[in-house]
Amino acid sequence: MKILLTNHHLNGLTGSEIFTFTVANFLLKNSNQVILYSKFIDETLPFFESKNVEVISDLNLIKNEKIDIAHVHHVTSALEVRYYFPDLPMVYLSHGIIPDLEQNPELISNLDIAKFLAVSEEVKDNLIKSGVNKSNVEIFRNIFNTDLFHEKRKINKKLKNVLVVSARIDENKENKIKKACAELNLNLKFVGGRFGWKNQKQISELIQCSDVVFSLGRGVIETMLSGRVPFVFDYLGGDGLITPENYKESMTCNFSGRKNQKDYSVAELKKELSKYNYEYGVRLKELALKEFSANIKIKELIGIYDKIIKKKSRVKLSSLDKTKLKLINSVISLTKDYQTNLLSKYFEKSIINYEVNDELDGLIVEYVSLEEKSKLLYFEKDSCQRQLNSLLNSKFYKLSQFLLNLKR
C-alpha cells in the first residue's frame, strides 16, 4: 500500500511530529510505502530521513503518482491534498480541540473525507459538534514506540523521586510542586521548555529514574508505558494522580488536564501524592499497552485504510468546491513563499546541524551557516538554489549584513 501522510509542520519533537514519525516508521515496518508531505520542514526532517521516509514540501511533485490513500493531519493539509488529488481516498485525523489546525476542514469546503479519526472522546465530540456524522468518526489514540518507552527497572515501593516534564507550566504551579515535594522530602527534577529540552531517549531515561511524573498528554502515556505513575497537572490545571480507577476518565480528554482542570493547592498536591502505590505502575502499564502500543495499533490503522480503499465510493466535488480549493491553495502557496522572511532571525546566530541516532535517540547539535539553514527549509533539489539565491540577493538580506558588519 502506498500512503500519502501529511503534517502541517515538522518543526520539533512535539506532539504531532512525534505521532507522524511513529506512524510513518511503523507503516514502513509493515511493508508499506510512505510519502510524507509537510509545508514547513525544519529540524525534525533528519529523523524521517534516518528511516528512509520520502519527505516533500510540494505536492505538485507527486500529483501524477499512483497513491492508494491519504492520511492527513491539519486543516490546510487536507485542503491542499484534495486540490492536488481530487479522487484520492482521504482519512483525516484530529489531535485536539483547541488549535485551529485541528478543526474540521469540511467547515471550509466539501473534501469528501472518507473517515475522520480522533485521538480521544473529547476530540471526537468536537468533530461531531462541527457537523461530522457520528458514524463517520472513530477513535484512534496516540501510538507509541514501546521499544523506547518500556519498563527497564523496577519502580520504588516508597515514593522518592518526582519528575516534571512540561513545556508550558507556569511559575505558580511550578512553585506549588516544588513546595509540596520539599515538604514531603522528595527528590524533584524539571525538564522541558524553559528547563531545557531533552531528546526522547533522555526523557525515557529520566522517567525510569522517577516514581511519579507530572505531565500532560504524551508525557502521561510515556510514563505509564514505562511502568511509572503519572500525575496530570500543568498549565491547564489537572486531574491529579492517575490510578487504574480514574485512568479511563482522564483518557477521554487525552490526559490533557481538561477533564477536571483542577488547580491544586500545595496541600492538595501533597494529599494526591500520598495516594502513591507502586503497584499502580504495573497495572497502568498493562492498560496503556492495550491502548497505545504502535506494534498493535498500526495494524488497526492499516485495517481502516483497507476498508476505505475497498469501498471505492467517491463523491464528486462541485465546481464551487473546486473553485474554493484552487483559491485556498493559491493563498497557502503564497504564504509559504513569504517563509524566507523567517530566516531573518537566524542572521545573527547560526543554527543547528544534526546527527541522528536510532529511534529518535538524539539530535546532536552544532552550529551551521545561513546557507545550510536554507537547505533545511527548502530541501527539494529543484527549488533549493533558486530560493537561496533569491534570499542572498534580496535588499533585506544585504541590509542585515551591512548592519551586522557595523556592529562588529
Q: pLDDT for 166-207, tens place per residue?
A: 989 999 999 999 999 999 999 999 998 888 877 778 899 999
* The three cell numbers locating residue 93: 485525523
Q: Above 80 in pLDDT, residue 344?
A: no
Grid cell digits, residue 125: 465530540
As a whole number, mean pLDDT of residues 338-353 equals: 48
Residues 330 and 261 in one domain: no
Which residues lie closer than 8 Å to 119 by C-beta, 6 or more apart? Answer: 93, 94, 95, 96, 139, 140, 141, 142, 254
Query: Do residue 92 and residue 174 come from a single domain?
Result: no
pLDDT at 95 > cutoff 70? yes
**365 or 272, which is more confident?**
272
What pLDDT sits at residue 369? 44
371 in the same domain as 302? no
User: Average pLDDT of the chain?
Assistant: 85
Report, as an integer, the average pLDDT of 360-386.
42
Has residue 27 got a pLDDT over 50? yes
Higher pLDDT, residue 403 or 174:
174
Q: Are residues 105 and 196 in the same domain?
A: no
Among 195-199, 202-206, 215-219, 368-372, the minimum mean pLDDT is found in 368-372
Output the CA–CA distances (angstroms, integers) from residue 73 to 116, 159, 360, in the order listed: 10, 39, 21
Confidence band for 366, pLDDT divided at 50, 70 and 90: very low
pLDDT confidence tier of residue 406, bands split at 50, 70 and 90: low
Q: What percent of the chain shows pLDDT beyond 70?
A: 81
10 Å CB burial of residue 346 (0-12, 13-18, 19+) is middle
- Residue 180 falls within a domain, yes or no? yes
Quote the pLDDT of residue 300.
96
Question: Which of 156-165, 287-296, 330-339 comes out lowest in average pLDDT?
Answer: 330-339
Tell whether 155 is covered by a domain: no
* pLDDT at res. 167: 87
CATH number at residue 188: 3.40.50.2000
> How many independent structural domains does the chain possess?
3
- Residue-level pLDDT at 16: 87
Give residue 391's pLDDT band: very low, low, confident or very high (50, 70, 90): low
Asked if 10 and 103 sit in the same domain, the reply is yes
Is residue 68 pLDDT above 50, yes or no? yes
Q: What does the pLDDT read at residue 11?
A: 79
Q: Are 57 and 377 in contact (CB under 8 A)?
A: no
Last residue of a domain, one of 292, 318, 352: 292
Q: Which residue has the higher pLDDT, 316 or 5?
A: 5
Q: Which pLDDT score is estimated for 397?
A: 54
- How are beta strands 40-41 and 9-10 bridged, if at all? parallel
**151 domain residue, yes or no:** no
pLDDT of residue 186: 97
- Alpha helix positions (H), 148-275: 171-183, 200-208, 217-225, 247-251, 266-273
| The pLDDT value given to residue 401 | 59
Q: 139 with 8, same domain?
A: yes
Beta bridge partners of 90: 70
Residues 285 and 306 in one domain: no
8 A C-beta contact, residue 64 and residue 92:
no
Cell 488536564, residue located? 257
Supply the pTM of this predicted model. 0.79
Q: Report the alpha-carbon distance of residue 272 to residue 282 in Å, rounded.
A: 19
Residue 394 lies in a domain: yes
Instruction: Tell me, yes or no, whether 154 lies in a domain.
Output: no
Query: Based on the domain organization, do 206 and 238 belong to the same domain?
Result: yes
pLDDT bin (cut points 50, 70, 90) of residue 352 is: very low
Torsion of CA 372, 12, 285, 151, to 10 degrees: 30
Residues 166 and 281 in one domain: yes
Is the confidence at residue 240, as pLDDT, over 70?
Answer: yes
- Residue written as grid cell 515538604: 183
Helices 370-377 and 381-392: crossing angle in degrees, nearest 10, is 140
C-alpha cell at 369: 551557516
In a domain, 148, yes or no: no
Highest mean pLDDT: which of 1-15, 40-54, 244-258, 341-355?
244-258
Tell me phi and psi for residue 32, to 5 degrees. Answer: -105, 160
* E runs forming strands in 30-165: 33-37, 40-41, 54-56, 69-73, 90-94, 115-118, 137-139, 161-165
Secondary structure (DSSP) of 272-322: HHTT--HHHHHHHHHHHHHHHBHHHHHHHHHHHHHHHHHH---PPPPHHHH
Distance CA 350, CA 346 (A): 6
Say yes or no: 122 and 171 in one domain: no
Host domain of residue 22: 2-143+294-335
Q: Are residues 228 and 324 in the same domain?
A: no
